Amino acid sequence: MQVLSVLIQHAKTSLDRPFSYLYDGPIQVQPGFRVMVDFHGQKLMGFVEAVDTTSLSKPEFDQLNGFDTSFVSSVVDEVPLLNDELNQLCQEVSEYYIAPKISVLQAMLPSSLRPAVSALKGPKIAYEWWVEAIDSNDEGLTDKQKEALRLIVPNGAVLKKEAGSPAVLENLKKAGRIRFFKKEKERFLVPEYEKEQKPRELTIGQKEAMKAIQEAPQDVVLLQGVTGSGKTEVYLHLSEIYLSQGKNILMLVPEISLTPIMVEYFSRRFGDKIAILHSELTPAEKYDEYRRIARGDARIVVGARSAVFAPLENIGLIILDEEHVESYKQDNLPYYHAREVAIMRAKHFGAKVILGSATPSLETKIRAYKGRYGYASLPQRINAKALPTTRIIDLRDRRIMMPRDTVFSRILHDAIALRLQRKEQVILLINRRGYSSFVTCASCGHIFTCPSCHSNLTYHRNDELLKCHHCGFVTAYPETCPQCGSTKIQRVGFGTERIVKVLGEYFPEARIGRLDSDVGKVRKNVPKILQEFREFKYDILVGTQMIAKGHDFPNVTLVGMVLADIGLSSPTYRASERTFQLITQAVGRSGRGDKVGEAFIQSYNPFHYAVTLGAKQDYETFFAREMQQRKIALMPPYMFLFALKFSCKSEERCVKAAVEFKEAIEGEFAQDVVCVGPVVPYLAIVGDYHKRSLLVKTRKHELIRPRLFELTRALSGKGGVDIECDVDPLDC
């Protein structure tokens, strides 16, 4: 009889330990199998962490251990889900991020393979029937049979449903001319592109960067290059070297919208060796791609954050393009950052990690500065093309605005008109989707908020709805105020929808595209719109930050940031850094072709250093200035952060648990930690649950981390309080 140590599917800190179950069936269960179990009356799926055997009977085993042990209901798998490397990675990620191991497994695996009951309803392998000839002689056949055989023979194998009538095919089979066989259906096909005959010649700067990366003794190298400097070509040449050595490549991009163009670059260079992994694939497509990678059918994996867990063997090179982008950090359990996970994987394989960016995160830059990471630079654009000229427009001066308009200055309006006249393209960026940022009553000042999480609701003109951008709540646009009954409902602020509407009024002849997460909800909208803009089917593209990173549009000569400093009001220590990065990246979309580019930056804070230095693309000065601010505030990279999140239906118990946790950690590490809080977070109530946050700052994270791991498990679940830990949080 086997004794199984099983992790239960619920990703709760209080359940982050194995539970014992018995199995006495024909299958030899191994660690890494999924099993169905009864857990306190619930039918749940579990993940087998360890296996032991016993010669005792169940009553004897229960008596020895002092509790009643259940048998597993069924065994789901026939082989372990993860290889040794991914098993080890799962453990390492769980420990580093103080996260339940089951939450890491659920982040690593596609929906059909996750340790969750829902996986049983997920897509399975799909098959199709094919037919192939085993004898091409058509003597003695009917005309219909000859027709079918002559279709099959030159093609080698044909789908049965395309080869002819079932009756004709059945007779051909009986005659010994053909055979039927079953083949796995390909539900996702990587787009095919014409392969390049000859790789592009590297510039002197790119060759120097390549040399610096190859000769760097460090396993992790920062490749810092201005926008348009040719970092992608360096990635491709490095990949070619590692592929020739029999190694495999993991290429990560921060936005799903960047995946198609990166796939095209790699496909043109390396053919059909590529697999894609990102959240826009259907569950069936992701399942097939995951298994294709695990079989070794792909040597290059391109994808967004979760692709860092791809079951790729023999990895030689891992690349994180635009490494500074916050989307590499997951915003729920297990709160991992793809950069750190990539480095963990690279250590196992002895691989090289390349972190590419024009505006690297402060943490990455300081590690390169201190020699922990290697460093390579591309300080000039390809062929020494000039960076765009920039102009900051002070929105505080209302005289410069278009009449009765709070969106466009006259200067930006005229610049757009000039580009339309020249048949050049324009990108306009506003880091907010929707039509208006919030809705209020003009009579009593009531602001319409989400009943679930109390965030401001945003008006979306396209479907006449109010939506919560935090929890997804949706409601109809109000006719009256629920507070005072007034009909004076007004919309305040603006987003991408309103910009498109205003542009349409100013430039009715212009072809205008919009790209934000609302548009992206419809599958394949993002690559379609980007490709159409690249093919000049739009004159103007309006979008959020997803259009500011990594894209190359040669005919764009004007970028306008409608409200560049909107991020400065965010309640996070990274507000200035994000604003600088967004401005720098957005400006870099202009003038990448043969024509000189311009960028207009509209701001209510025109003299803020994030705005002025972003306009100049002066990273080094910004880095020095921002590091001073971080040092004063005791924030990363000078300190490590742990954000503890407490949740309970009882506000009193939630507060009490947070205070107890703080007292425990300060009592043990008074000299080594700074605790901030507990405080009420921005989303104070979500559903029926009250929230509190506690921020722990320390320089000695290796000393503090194990104790935080113990405390979260010891205190989570007590009194109905759930505790999560966000290690290295980006927002606090």
Q: Which pLDDT band holds residue 435 (cuts at 50, 70, 90)? A: very low
pLDDT per residue as tens digits for the range 142-172: 888 888 888 888 888 888 888 888 998 988 9
Q: Does domain 387-433+495-630 have CATH number 3.40.50.2300?
A: no
Q: Which pLDDT band holds residue 259 (cuts at 50, 70, 90)? A: confident
* 637: preceding bond cis by omega (within 30 degrees): yes
pLDDT (average), residues 499-504: 90
Give me the pLDDT at residue 353, please: 98
* 565: pLDDT strictly greater than 90: no
The three-state secondary structure class of 252 is: strand
Classify domain 204-378 at the CATH topology level. Rossmann fold (3.40.50)
Give me the pLDDT at residue 469, please: 58
Q: Are 50 and 80 in contact (CB under 8 A)?
A: no
> Domain map of the chain by residue range?
2-121, 127-184, 204-378, 387-433+495-630, 436-493, 640-727
pLDDT per residue as tens digits for the range 648-685: 999 999 999 999 999 999 998 988 999 988 988 877 88
Give me the pLDDT at residue 590, please: 86
192-196, 210-214, 611-615, range with the lowest pLDDT: 192-196
pLDDT (average), residues 444-458: 68
Give me the pLDDT at residue 680, please: 83
Residue 451 or residue 720, greater confidence = 720
CA distance 105 to 99: 11
**Sign of torsion over alpha carbons 429, 431, 434, 436:** negative
The three-state secondary structure class of 591 is: coil
38-42, 545-549, 633-637, range with the lowest pLDDT: 545-549
Give me the pLDDT at residue 414, please: 95
Q: Does domain 127-184 have CATH number 3.30.1390?
A: yes
Q: Which pLDDT band holds residue 434 (cuts at 50, 70, 90)? A: very low
What CATH number was assigned to the domain covering residues 2-121? 3.40.1440.60
Query: b/e per residue, 379-404, with b = 16+ CB within 10 A?
Result: ebbbeebebbebebbebeeeeebbee
pLDDT per residue as tens digits for the range 603-612: 888 899 999 9
pLDDT per residue as tens digits for the range 210-229: 999 999 999 999 999 988 88
Same topology between domain 204-378 and domain 387-433+495-630: yes
Q: Which pLDDT band holds residue 436 (cuts at 50, 70, 90)? A: very low
Residue 294 or residue 457, greater confidence = 294
Give me the pLDDT at residue 455, please: 59
CA angle 517, 522, 523 (to 5 degrees): 105
- Average predicted confidence (pLDDT) for the chain: 88
Rounded to whole angstroms, the maximal C-alpha distance in the chain is 94
Strands annotated E in 503-636: 512-515, 540-543, 556-561, 598-603
| Superfamily of structural domain 640-727 | Ribosomal protein S10 (3.30.70.600)
